[in-house]
Amino acid sequence: MATTNLSNYDINSVPSAKEMHFGIVVSEWNNEITEALYNGAYQTLIMHGAKPENIIKDYVPGTFELTYGAKSFVENYNFDAVIVLGCVIQGETRHFDFICEGVAIGITDINRKYDTPVIFGVLTTNNQQQAQDRAGGKHGNKGDEAGVTAIKMAAFRNRQITK
């Protein structure tokens, strides 16, 4: 939301990520934005204790492919959480709608099917400026928010497993 800074949160509400493992799947499309999102997520994980060697990053060509990337990470690694990072900017055709809906449904389906939280860190903006504003600009960084969410959901998952 335009009224919320994506990088503002109560630091004390975030558990330690010291023993956690994370996968981050990054879309190559809109690379300037997605790399900024990655840097935000990565730095947030590190700030909360995640070890660099416990954070695996890989790329997919576009936002639509994030679903496959997330599914592959969930099936082939033992991550506590997976973050997907992408950026879709509205154009003149309905392509935007199909991509946004497809990836949202795809990530939701993975979260239903598997026991590893997959965090939706995809910007869906009307223009480049809105994307920049949410990738480290005046509205903070969606990557920071995705990192915090990944840690909290990993802790939630781990609490459920130990019950």
Please list the active-site residues: 95
d(CA 105, CA 83): 15
In the numeric block, which tokens belong to residue 105? 């449904």
Three-class secondary structure assignment of 9-57:
CCHHHCCCCCCCCEEEEEECCCHHHHHHHHHHHHHHHHHCCCCHHHEEE
Tokens 């900017």 locate to 89
Helix 142-161 / helix 31-47 crossing angle, nearest 10 deg: 50
Residue 1: name the closest of 127, 115, 103, 134 by CA: 134
d(CA 1, CA 118): 21
